[in-house]
Amino acid sequence: MTLSTLIIGVAIVAAILSAVIHFLKDHENVNFHNLPLSFLQNFVGVLFLFSGAVKAIDPLGTAFKMEQYFAEFETMFNGTWFSFISGIFPVFAQYALAFSVLMIVFEIALGFMVLIGHRKKFTAWAFLLLIIFFTFLTGFTFLTGYVPEGVNFFDFGGWGSYVSTNMKVTDCGCFGDFLVLEPRTSFLKDVFLLIPGILFIVFNGKLHEVFAPKMRMILTSVVTVLTLIFCYYNYGMNLPIADFRPFSNGTDVRTKKQAEIDAANAVEVSGYRITNTKTNKVVEIPVASYLTDIKNYPAEEGWDKETLEQIKTEPAIKGTKLSEFTIQGESAVTYVDVVIPDAPNDTITGYLANDLVADFGDTTGFKIVNSYQEVEEGDIEASLMADPNYSFMIVAYKLEKASKTAFKDKINALHKGAEGDGLNFYAVTASADEVTESFRHDVQAPYVFHSADDILLKTMIRSAPGIILWKDGKIVQKWHYKKLPSYEAIKAKYMK
């Protein structure tokens, strides 16, 4: 879905609601004045309900996005006249999940209040203030594209040309992972929504009202409570009821990752972009005439070669976190000495066991005369995704916040069952080594913890810990630790 199709869909629903309300305008519980304003009221209400709903499906995703914003604000204010503010953001980050749920519940309740015309004056002002807040966030996100690495946001003289990789927060999360918008698009969307925000205040008395005042209060309270319960279910009791991220159940991670990498490698350089550090003027030079044209932009006139960047074609497949799927750590690599059927007098020594089938296909007649393992440090995701058997991955992005009880009562038992059947078992975290070792001792974990990027792990699964069942590079099933079945139940249902 694109933003355009979403807007069209919301507009259609708003038009239908406006027609129904206009038809019922003479009803005693319907107060209707103006059709265009009623349409705008319904459009905004439906948009807010949808936006809040897709975030309510994944409250942890919004919390993670808030953590990113808090980290950026801390860096932005640190070292400035407002450095006294920076210390508050790490505190806010500790309560990011509470802020996330509060914001989602407020957005949905406010959208519903706009829709039915409940407490019109309060609702109009609340809507305008929330849009101003969203505009600030999306505007900040977009503008950081002009701030080069190492330059503070408030150092306006150091701003350069817009470069998307300058942004630490790459999207605002307005529609969660369901619809990821470019920062500039998100910003313009919120600027547009300021218009109905102002109109609702100016023409407050002309907003439509549906139902009696007492019923509006009851319905708003019910929506608020149900939203709160729904949010908690989607992180506190289970995984989100819908997974819009690239690591969803059934995903062939190995194939899709390679396709994204191949697409990224296939992009072509169509030109170069150079910025004048004195005037901030940006010039694009076609790649065919670069060697000739670059002489027209001398360094003494402000054309700094360090600002030179490539202009590339768009990849055929847009990259996701799948491309960044990398796990580091120790792994036992099996080597074998084999005798090839066609050359019985020759022995290949030190051959990677996993490569036999890949290189020779049919290995009938191969004789393994020696087999041994060596523990190696490096990326282990390749062996995980090439494993033809089932394997388990335990993801705990921050062991400091992971449930120790879940590890003691469930994860260790799962490992025992998997080990008994000779299956590989991976535990992955983004915590520091000393934290990991202390945690392993506390939960008596008989397995090794590998390391990976924090954001990657949060993208993979919304649970701490979360459990993923793999087979041949594909995600078979994911579980929240509170919903994890026994190993025997998993084996009977999913490992066939």
Contact 89, 129 (CB under 8 A): no
- For residue 114 the two structure tokens come to 């706009």
Q: In whole angstroms, give the CA distance from residue 225 to residue 223.
A: 6
Residues 6+ apart with CB under 8 A from 433: none
Nearest to 105 by CA among 210, 230, 12, 10: 230
Model pLDDT, residue 221: 97
Tokens of residue 293, six digits: 């044209």
| Residue in the structure block whose two tokens are 């590989």 | 424
Task: With CA atoms as reference, report the closest residue to 464 among 414, 424, 405, 419.
Answer: 405
Predicted pLDDT of residue 330:
63
Assign 496 a pLDDT band (cuts: 50, 70, 90): confident
Among residues 56, 159, 171, 146, which one has the least CA distance to residue 103? 56
Count CA atoms closer than 13 A to 365's CA, side-chain side: 8
Is 433's pLDDT higher than 60?
A: yes
Q: What is the pLDDT of residue 329?
A: 72
DSSP, collapsed to helix, strand or coil, labels residue 389 as coil
Through-space distance between the first and last CA atoms of the chain, rounded to whole angstroms: 35
Predicted confidence (pLDDT) per residue in 68-124, tens digit: 999 999 988 887 888 888 889 999 999 999 999 999 999 999 999 999 999 999 999
Phi and psi dihedrals of 293, rounded to 5? -75, -30
Give the pLDDT confidence score for residue 70 in this predicted structure. 93
Residue range 157-170: mean pLDDT, rounded: 79
> Which neighbouring-strand residues pair with 392?
425, 469
Give the phi and the psi of residue 166 in degrees, each rounded to 5: -70, -25
Stated as kind and residue range, the H or E segment containing 392 is strand 390-396
**pLDDT of 386-417, one tens digit each?**
888 999 999 999 999 899 999 999 999 999 99
pLDDT averaged over every residue in the chain: 89
pLDDT over threshold 80, residue 37: yes
- Residue 343: pLDDT band (50, 70, 90) is low
* pLDDT of 253 higher than 60: yes
Using alpha carbons, list the distances in angstroms from residue 282 to 150, 244, 273, 278, 290.
Answer: 20, 37, 7, 11, 15
Q: What percent of the chain has pLDDT over 70?
A: 91
Residue 185: both structure tokens together: 């698009």
> What is residue 276's predicted lDDT score, i.e. its pLDDT?
84
What pTM did the predictor assign? 0.84
Cα separation, 245 vs 237, in Å, equals 19
Q: How far is CA 12 from CA 42, 175, 209, 442, 483, in A?
A: 10, 19, 20, 56, 39
Structure tokens at 132: 């101003």
Say how far apart CA 220 and CA 106 lie, in whole Å: 11
Q: What is the reported pLDDT for 278?
A: 79
Residue 295: DSSP 8-state: G
Give the pLDDT confidence of 353-395 residue by residue, as tens digits. Answer: 556 655 665 666 667 767 665 555 667 788 888 888 999 999 9
Residue corresponding to tokens 């749920």:
101
